[in-house]
Every structure is written in C-alpha cells, then in structure tokens.
Amino acid sequence: MNSAPCTRASIFATVVVLLSSACSKQQAPAIQSSDAGWLTGGHDAAQTYHSPLRQIDEGNAARLGFAWSYDLRTTHGQEATPVVVDGVMYASAPWGFVHALDARTGQQRWVFDPKVNDAITSKVCCGIVSRGLAFSEGRVFTAAIDGQLSALDAKDGKALWRVDTIVDHERGYTVTGSPYVAGDVVVIGNSGGELDARGYVSAYRVDSGELAWRFFTVPGSATGPFEHSELEQAAKTWDPDSRWEVGLGGTVWDGMAYDARLDLLYVGVGNSALYPRKLRSPKGGDNLYVSSILAIHPKTGRLAWHYQTTPGDQWDYTATQKMILADLKIGARTRQVLMQAPKNGFFYVLDRATGELLSAQPYVPVSWASGVDQKTGRPVETGQGDYSNGPKLVFPSPAGGHNWQPMAFNPDTGLVYIPVLEASAVYWIPDAPYVYQKGGINTGAIYAFPAQHAGDWGLESAHTKHLPPLSELGKGQPDTTIRGFLRAWDPVANKVAWQVDTSDQWTGQMNAIWNGGGVMTTAGNLVFQGRSTGVLHVYRATDGRALGAIDVGTSIMAAPMTYELDGVQYVAVMAGFGGALGGVHPAGTAAERYGNAGRIVAFKLDGGVVPKPAELRRETSVPRPAVERFGSAADIEAGNALMKRHCARCHANEGPGAIPDLRWMSAETHQQFEDIVLKGVRAAKGMGSFQGLITSAEAQQIRAAVVDSAWRAYQATPVTP
C-alpha cells in the first residue's frame, strides 16, 4: 500500500518551523508572525487551526462581544477561513472573489473580482463556495470556481499573473478548494468527481505562474500513454475494461498540508466515479489513487509515498478532509505524524516521512469495515457495504463521518477536535442501464438518508418506495438516528475524550449533521465552533465545558480564526450557509430567519452586541400553485428521476425551506423555464445552463413533476375557515 519512503530536504528560509522542547507537549510545525497573525487557512503550515494566543481564555471568554462586521455581498455559502498578515485580513468568497480588509476595523482596502463565466454553475456539485486562499511573499493566491488561478499583489489586489488550471472544459471540472504554497510552487486541485472529472493536482511557480508539474490521480487508460510513471503502476489496480470515458474521479477538492523540514506536500484525493465497483471497474482492484493520501516532492511532482484509506471506494469516501501535521509521543518515541479523519469513519495517524500506518480507529459508527489491519493498512470489509446485488444500509453515509469542515489540534491538550457527522445511508444501483453523460452527473448509484422530514433525501420519498423497510435494512446495525457532534479525539489513546451533541432541535433530521461548522482552538484552553443556528459557541478545550455563546444572526459553517493587533486579540468568522445539501434552510436556522447574506463578523473582549440582519417576512400558508397540472403519470415519474439526478443537489424539492423551492415558481418563471434551464438566462444568480445534459422535452418533464409536487402540497394543507 505504501511506496518507498521520502528523503529529507532543507528547510526553506521563508518558513520557520518550531519544535517543542517539552516531550509532554505535542507541538505541530508552525509559522510565526510579528503581528500574531493567521498566515494560512489552518493558521500554520501544519494546518492545525490552533493559535498560540491566550489573551482570550477560559476565564474571560464569556466577555467576547462585537468588534466589527463586513458585508460579503453574496448569499452563497461561506466555507473559508481568512488569513491575517501585517494587519490586513484577506478573505476568499464564492466565485473566487477576494476581499482585503483592515483587520482592526473591517474597513475595505480592495476587492478582486475573478470575472467568472456564469455558465460554470451547471457543473457545480456542492454549492458555489470557496474554501480559502494562500499567502506568500506579498502575494495572495486565489482560485476561481471556473479554474482560474490568480496571484494578486497583496497591496492593491492587482493580478500579477493568471492561469487556467482546467485541462478539459467540456468535462465537469470546477474549483472550490484552496491553493497551498509548498516552497516555490503554489498547488491547486479541482472538483467534479460526481460528474466526469479525471482528478489531478497542478503546481505553478510562485513568481511567474509557469506550470511546474501536474500529477494525475487516476490513469486515463489501461495501456497509456501515461503522463507520469506513477500512473503505470496505478493502472495495474484497475480493470482494463474500466469506464475510462467517465474520468473515474479522484479529484483533489480540498485538504493539503506541507512539511518544510521533509519538503513534502500532502494531498488528499477524492472519491471514485462511477460509485459502484460493479460498473466502474467490474473485475475489482484498489483503483489507485482514489480515496488516498499522497506525499509528493514539490520540487519534482514525483510521489514519495501513498496511503489508500478506502481501496476500491464505492461510497463517496473521500480522503480530501483537512490533514494536520504534528509531533506526537507514541510509546517511547516522538513521531512526526499526519492525522486525518476522512469520510470513511476511521481516524488515521500516519508517519508523515514514510506513510507507515501508526493507528486507525473508528471515530463514528462504521459498518462497511470491521477495522483496519495494522500490518497491511487495509480495511477489513464486512460485506455490509456491498450493494452490487441490492440495497444496503451503510455507515457512514456519503456525507462521511467528517466532511470538509476543518478539525483542529491543540498541542497543549493533545486532542483533535472534530465536527463529527453520525449518519447512515441506503445505497443502490438503479434498474435502468447506466449511460454516460458528458459533463453531467455520473455516479451510477443512488443513496438515501433515513432522515425525518428530509423530502427526496429520506426513505419516505416517492423515489425510495420500492426499498425494503428501514427495519429490515437496519437489522443488526447501529442506531440510524442522525446526529452531529463536536468530538474531542485523543490520537494517542485512540478514544473520545469528550463530546458535545451539536444536533440542536434537528436530531434525526439532515440538519443535525450540517448544523455544526468548522473548529478553531487556542492556547487559552478554548475551542470555537459556529452552527447554522447563527450562534458561535466557545468550549473549554480540556473537557468541553460551555464557556460562551454569541448569537451572530447569520448561519455559520466555516472555521473561526484569531489574531492579535496592538495588544488586542480578535476572533473572526465568515458566516453564511450553503454547500452540499446546505441549499435548504430548515426552520430554526439563522438563514431561515434572517436570510443568508454572507458577512465576516469579528469579536473582542468587552465588545458590543452583534447587530443582526432584519428578519424575513414569510407566508404562513401554502400558496396555490401558479399553473395547473400537466403531463402524464409517466412524464411526472420521469421528471422526478431527472430532478433527482440533475436538480436535487440544489433544489431539494419537497424539502424544508429549499432556496428556491421550485414548487412555488411564479407564472412568469414557468413561462421562462426552458430559457432558465437550457439557455442560462439566470446564470448570474447561480443557475447555469443545462444545455446538452437534458433536452427540451426533459425540461418539461421536470416542470411537470414540480407542478405535481406543488399541487400535492397545496391539496394536503388544511383549509382555514
């Protein structure tokens, strides 16, 4: 499973790596700044999401209050963590915008507009979002959703260079992840594994934007030509008759980290496409390098070692979750480790120099595997995850035990704080033969969550009535109640130290797992996490005791950050709901109550009350649909299937609070339906063209299904006398 170990390299002068002098402290490599800033998305090169600042601590955290806020001028989700360098905050926002602010006051210095082609929205899997930017030597590096990577002058936001990172715009490529700087290159991946992307990561010279190297994560064929030697070995792990035309997935859409001492770049690789092994690689195989962690020499782009977390992945178990580098005392030795809690439910501790598996234990309920073999590093599959011959209930769900929301490591407590998702899902292969759709959704499987009130995502929906009852599917399995937790994990003892249930009122519903946002921890013995309720929570890092809760009035998904200027420590967070399955705003979320205008909110000790947006006015009754029913029963059934494939990832038809809920389209919107769907006349609002993916007749079938759903809801509403 692992290739040859890497070699050591010199430490770059631009990065200062600190080692702990005390064996009892688990200190991660970090970058120092004279203004106690926050210099990468995860604070430091090790991506710990930990700050050494301690002015705000467990004794005074309850005194945190409003310092300033900034309007991001978008209603799309906010998933990034800003950086602060020399008193300036740089924040990436949806589409690839960058906002530079005075970190003391929130006053705008400049804004960069990437000028994205709106048509790209039809290829977006999981929301128009950005997960961050990178800063190095006076340059800000940002990636736009259409794949444009730009180097900006930090002083004024002017583009110093700009490159197109996408190799084939006919396919479903987008970019939502953050660039990372590794020595003298800046590295960027891409999204689109659920569509028809073939994953890769590209490195560009920091000073010029010249392409330094590109590493493809899956082969393009069984026989070549191979872009680099690693693919020849990878091809041996695929069936020669694999569905090469689909792209096979393996996209690098999020987590990376860099160790300057070892001069190694760590890259997390995403899921396979198609999902089912039966369709993707019929004769089996590990299918390298999907769902893997890669250690790459950033000077050459060559592989030092790899570790595959989920061989032959068929559950969307990406290994793109944030990775944290640290030095841990394990037994009698202090080990240089890489830690990750990927979707598959196991928490991994690897030797980051060699890729050796040190431990892998479940941090959530897991049914697809009974454990990970310590000698081989391979999961021991139970068969419960094999849905090739019929539906199976599998733990974790495709949302994973942990998704993109950053976890954090505190070297003082030795604990990793994980926003945990506890959920299962039923997977099955549709009866209809799979047909490849270029640029469209190409998962080859369907899944449904056993959630209360989840519309098309629940087992009670019209699309899942043919499934066996949940009591049968879940026999002998863990509790299927959907919950979210903030879980403090001891990576040496391999156990939970403490946890807080973050489900709030949504226990059993989908928002239980989307309620909890990313995490930040500090030397003040604090852990910070926001929720979709709009509340920023503060806990004691040692035991999880609640220390404070600030009502922001805007739903929070992103990880907070902290910095110090002029002797004042600030905490800041980007607020706004969205992302995968986050286009629905259930009752009780701040987005449902106040709208979803994104903003940055900063706090300091003895600050004021956070100003909240104006509350939205909402209709209390179900309106009469704007048009009459039309289309045959077969048209409506076909429309529901098309809706599931193309639309439900954004428009959760019959789901609570869908934004927008298509059932309540106006008569004018009905008249414009084909222009909207096929011509992209509302692309600027996030609704791109689906021309080439669906026909005019299919668009009308979708509309017929939406209208039928609207009338069913209307007729089910009690009449008020």
pLDDT (tens digit, 9 = 90+) per residue, 291-310?
Answer: 999 999 999 999 999 999 99
d(CA 550, CA 656): 26
Q: If DSSP states are collapsed to H, E and C, what string results for 612-664?
A: CCCCCCCCCCCCCCCCCCCCCHHHHHHHHHHHHHHHCCCCCCCCCCECCCHHH
Q: What fold characterizes domain 50-605?
A: Methanol Dehydrogenase; Chain A (2.140.10)
| SS3 assignment, position 69 | strand
Mean pLDDT throughout 514-539? 97
pLDDT band at 718 (very low <50, low <70, confident <90, very high): low
- 648-696 pLDDT per residue, tens: 666 654 433 345 678 888 888 888 898 888 888 887 666 777 887 788 9
| Better-scored residue on pLDDT, 617 or 598 | 598
Average pLDDT over residues 498-517: 94
Whether the predicted pLDDT of 259 surpasses 60:
yes
Q: Which residue has the higher pLDDT, 528 or 647?
A: 528
Q: Which one has a higher pLDDT value, 122 or 333?
A: 333
Pairwise pLDDT comparison (130 vs 440), residue with the higher score: 130
With b meaning 16 or more CB within 10 Å and e meaning fewer, what string describes 216-234?
bbbbbeeeeebeeebbeeb
Give the DSSP H/E element, type plus range, for residue 702. helix 696-716
Q: Could you give the percent of the chain with pLDDT greater than 90?
A: 73
**Planar angle of CA 582, 584, 590, nearest 5 degrees:** 85
CA distances to 193, 439, 440, 471, 646 from 198, rounded to whole Å, are 7, 12, 13, 38, 20
**Per-position DSSP letters for 329-378, written without gaps between them:** EETTEEEEEEEE--TTSEEEEEETTT--EEEEEESS---SEEEE-TTT--
Question: Can you give the pLDDT at residue 62?
Answer: 97
pLDDT at 17 over 50: no
Does residue 513 sit in helix, strand or coil? helix
Q: What is the mean pLDDT of residues 376-398?
A: 97
The yes-or-no answer on residue 373 being catalytic is no
What is the tens place of the pLDDT at every residue in 533-570? 999 999 999 999 999 999 999 999 999 999 999 999 99
Q: Is the pLDDT of residue 583 over 60?
A: no
- Which member of 118, 254, 316, 635 is catalytic? 316
* Fold of the domain spanning 633-716: Cytochrome Bc1 Complex; Chain D, domain 2 (1.10.760)
* CA end-to-end span of the chain: 69
What pLDDT is recorded for position 126?
Answer: 80
CA distance 509 to 488: 23
Of the listed ranges 188-197, 218-227, 437-446, 559-568, the one predicted with least confidence? 437-446
Q: How confident is the model at residue 476, as a pLDDT?
A: 92
Residue 672 vs residues 412, 679, 690: alpha-carbon distances, Å: 59, 10, 14
> What residues does each domain of the chain span?
50-605, 633-716
pLDDT at 378: 98
Helices marked H in 516-572 — which ranges? Answer: none
